């Protein structure tokens, strides 16, 4: 497959009467001339790294290299464990995992760029939570990563996954779309519903700028990973409820590319605009 359109993935899965992840695994194994088991084992290693980054990033005394952030994952987990949250312990727990992974990244820990370091907490926050809190098997979660990865390949080809090119819609937006598609598949949704989930997320994140304070992947990046988790779950739930995207996923991606191209330089990871240019941001950096 060329991985240039979401519809291509959906059509291939429908034609073979299989999940998108199954089709992608077979295609990747064939194109790379490697056994499917070898690719599965590599993805399992990636998933293990994700789980470890949750643990590392969830420590109470964790601090980023700049000292501007740290401990967000710990605080959110403590709050989730209180069982007295607005979103409920499951979603609060998912947010805590996303914050932990992002915090691990800011502290120069080992993470999986999914699809980027700046958005590394969203997919782990969603999928690890499904395993640890909802009883989904790790085998199924690991398979769903092939669906997430395939969607990411299309997004990278058709739009962008780089904040410097398309704003944060291309980083956290892409990660949320990938995660939402994987969640729909995990819940037994159809390939078409996976595409709808991706479309709803992208439509909800259009125009999100990349404005890292001090050029560091910390403020507001870490917190955007937590909100990205919420977006992934909410869009997956809407689709599973029978709600469809009126705009096809591929057209949403085309719009994302157009919007990203229209963003001024100051809002594409240069730290010259948005939150990065506020008086408080400058004060934090001693400017």
User: Can you tell me the distance from the alpha carbon of 271 to that of 253, in angstroms, rounded to the nearest whole number?
Assistant: 25
| Nearest one of 142, 129, 121 to 46, comparing CA atoms | 142
Go through 39-78 and write b for each residue having 16 or more CB atoms within 10 A of its CB, e for each that does not.
bbeebeebbeebbbbbebbbbeebebebebbbbbbbebbe
Residue 268 phi, psi (nearest 5): -125, 70
> Hey, where are the domains in the chain?
6-284
User: Can you tell me the distance from the alpha carbon of 126 to that of 229, in angstroms, rounded to the nearest whole number?
Assistant: 6
| Nearest one of 201, 207, 219, 203 to 169, comparing CA atoms | 207
* pLDDT tens sequence across 3-24: 999 999 999 999 999 999 999 9
* pLDDT tens sequence across 81-130: 999 999 999 999 999 999 999 999 999 999 999 999 999 999 999 999 99
Residue 86 half-sphere exposure toward CB, CA atoms < 13 A: 2
Whether the predicted model's global pTM rises above the 0.85 cut: yes
Determine the 3-state secondary structure of 9 from DSSP. Answer: helix
pLDDT tens digits, the chain, 287 residues: what are they?
999 999 999 999 999 999 999 999 999 999 999 999 999 999 999 999 999 999 999 999 999 999 999 999 999 999 999 999 999 999 999 999 999 999 999 999 999 999 999 999 999 999 999 999 999 999 999 999 999 999 999 999 999 999 999 999 999 999 999 999 999 999 999 999 999 999 999 999 999 999 999 999 999 999 999 999 999 999 999 999 999 999 999 999 999 999 999 999 999 999 999 999 999 999 999 97
Enter the tokens of residue 24: 């992608």
């Amino acid at each position: 497959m060329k991985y240039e359109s979401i519809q291509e993935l959906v059509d291939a899965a429908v034609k073979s009467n299989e999940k998108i992840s199954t089709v992608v695994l077979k295609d990747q194994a064939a194109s790379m001339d490697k056994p499917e088991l070898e690719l599965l084992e590599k993805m399992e290693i990636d998933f293990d790294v994700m789980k470890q980054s949750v643990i590392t990033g969830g420590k109470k005394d964790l601090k980023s290299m700049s000292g501007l952030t740290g401990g967000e994952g710990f605080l959110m987990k403590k709050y989730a464990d209180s069982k007295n949250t607005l979103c409920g312990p499951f979603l609060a727990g998912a947010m805590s995992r996303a914050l932990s992974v992002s915090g691990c990244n800011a502290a120069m820990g080992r993470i999986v760029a999914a699809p980027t370091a700046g958005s590394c907490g969203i997919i782990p926050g969603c999928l690890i939570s499904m395993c640890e809190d909802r009883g989904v098997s790790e085998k199924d979660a690991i398979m769903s990563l092939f669906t997430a990865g395939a969607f990411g390949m299309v997004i990278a080809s058709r739009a962008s996954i780089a904040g410097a090119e398309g704003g944060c819609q291309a980083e956290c937006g892409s990660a949320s779309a990938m995660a939402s598609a994987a969640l729909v598949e995990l819940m037994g949704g159809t390939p078409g519903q996976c595409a709808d989930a991706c479309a709803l997320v992208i439509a909800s994140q259009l125009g999100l700028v990349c404005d890292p304070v001090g050029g560091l992947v910390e403020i507001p990046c870490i917190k955007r990973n937590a909100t990205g988790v919420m977006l992934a779950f909410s869009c997956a739930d809407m689709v599973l409820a029978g709600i469809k995207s009126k705009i096809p996923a591929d057209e949403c991606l085309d719009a994302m590319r157009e919007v990203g191209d229209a963003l001024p330089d100051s809002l594409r990871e240069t730290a010259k605009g948005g939150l990065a240019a506020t008086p408080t941001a400058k004060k934090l950096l001693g400017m």
